[in-house]
Structure 1
């Protein structure tokens, strides 16, 4: 079976919007932020998943409740009704009108409109898998996890229809083994600290492509002291040198680039000739 995301990435780099596109009064990980990301030209929306106390799956980054919601309680300790009553805070920490959405709501809202990257897949694999199947989204998602035995065994035994990309740090020592297993492997998310790291090499990207696999890179910055892609970041791109940020990643041949700035990155990629005009 040919994955439709591979077909899309075979034509051009895909733009992945990290937690949507948050700005002004629109917080990250809300349906509004994902809608904004699509309007900016994103192909993929990256989401975080947190389960509530009674099993409902919510689109929320674990542990960020004090910052994003202004509360000291955590969603895993709350009922679905309690979570539904919450509202996000904006960048000024002022309450907004935006609720914490469920994974069911997100799938229904964006089904067939974009690909969905499921971060934190390892937190509740059976429940997320059931939700993906319930909404017939298996061709439209990417499950992400570290290549831990628990996750790989689950995918092989119970989630062989779920597209998967492991997080790979600096050197890839898992892909060859994964190709031998009954896992729907899309490729790898490459994390590297230096241009000289093996997963940042032309040879690695070319070898993955020869296997029919994709390589995902990150321009996002969680912590400026520990960047994801050897300094080829959104920060560099947005403050004056997009060629050293997004351009470097695109020239390297990465199939998917994750960003917090989907609109400017897409504009740059088009102007630089990495995307078709128009």
Structure 2
């Protein structure tokens, strides 16, 4: 019976239409990881937003991808060594376009507040397990339901800690692949890691070498498969056919329209 349930679940995943996840918001059209980018993603019809989060020196969670602020603000500050007051003083929009001048690095709570009823929030944790207790407090203070929150991270220890402390939230392990052949990590290695850390699924870079057998193995083992970051329609179409449960993209409206066509 258990084997049948796993087979049925994997078959459903392969038939389902993938969720469209806005990578750092609608980051093709607005500055990444900012409130304008997330608000625009919802207007463009995204099913979910994905943002990157770091812990500051004074215990706040801020939304920024890099470990320092140089690329998106023009001023270099190490995020973990800076206070939120230090970071919020920086301007994080004009690097992208002058119309976004005055945009700031948002707090986790500000990003969470943009999520509408029924929307999903993919929270990528960019630091170690030390961020998890703070995240738990932030989520408890938000209006998000358990079903709306998905935690993702490259660090297996972070996912393991999340599933131990707040198992009600889905959590996916992130990984890209090295350039060797065959793929590393292999499907067997991925499944072993997912089982050991209690993850709900695997989210990988949309490597062209990925095939049906690899993704089917993940699904047959009872895990979800997700992919990032896809901005080309033909690539989105391929991963939809391979059974990806979600496709993360910088262009949510564009990719949604092309898949619908």
Instruction: Name the TM-score, length of structure 1 as normaliser.
Output: 0.74
**In the alignment, which residue of structure 1 is the partner of 2:247?**
257
Bigger helix fraction: 2
* Residue of 126, 129, 134 corresponding to 2:141: 134
1:223 corresponds to which residue?
none
Query: Could you tell me which residue of structure 1 aligns to residue 66 of structure 2?
Result: 62
Alpha-carbon separation, structure 2, partners of 1:219 and 1:75: 24
Bigger relative contact order (CA 8 A; separation at least 6)? 2
Match of 2:104 in 1: 99
Q: Structure 1 regions of 5+ residues with no counterpart?
A: 1-5, 221-233, 272-278
Is 1:155 aligned to residue 181 of structure 2?
A: no
- Name the structure 1 match of 2:219: 209
CA distance in 2, matches of 1:254, 1:131: 29
The 10-residue stretch of structure 1 (165-174 or 51-60) with the greater mean CA deviation from structure 2:
165-174
Q: TM-score, normalised by structure 2?
A: 0.78
**Counterpart contact for 1:121–1:144, Cα < 8 Å:** no
Which of 116, 119, 122 aligns to 2:121? It is 116
Residue 152 of structure 1 deviates from its aligned partner by 4.8
Residue 113 to residue 97, structure 1, CA distance change in 2 (3 Å): farther
Contact 2:69–2:79 (CA<8 Å) still a contact in 1? Answer: yes
* Map of 1:72 onto structure 2: 76
Matched, 1:270 2:254: no
The 1:72–1:176 alpha-carbon spacing in structure 2 relative to 1, beyond 3 Å, is: closer
Matched with 2:25 is: 20
Distance 1:207 1:267, change over 3 A: same
Q: 2:96 & 2:165 partners in 1: Cα distance?
A: 43
* Superposed displacement of residue 191, structure 1: 3.4
Q: Classify the secondary structure of the residue corresponding to 2:114.
A: helix
Asked if the contact 2:75/2:90 (under 8 Å) is kept, the reply is: no
Instruction: Report how many aligned residue pairs link the two structures.
Output: 238
2:7 aligned partner: none
Query: Deviation at 1:216?
Result: 0.8
Structure 2 Cα separation of the partners of residues 72 and 91 of structure 1 = 14
Q: Give the root-mean-square deviation of aligned CA atoms.
A: 2.9
Q: Deviations over 1:63-109 (max 9, x none)?
A: 35112112122332322223233321334565712121110122123
Name the counterpart of 1:145. 153
Residue 189 (str. 1) matches residue 203 (str. 2)? yes
Task: String of CA shifts for 1:5-27, please: whole Å, max 9, x gaps.
Answer: x9999741111111011356x31
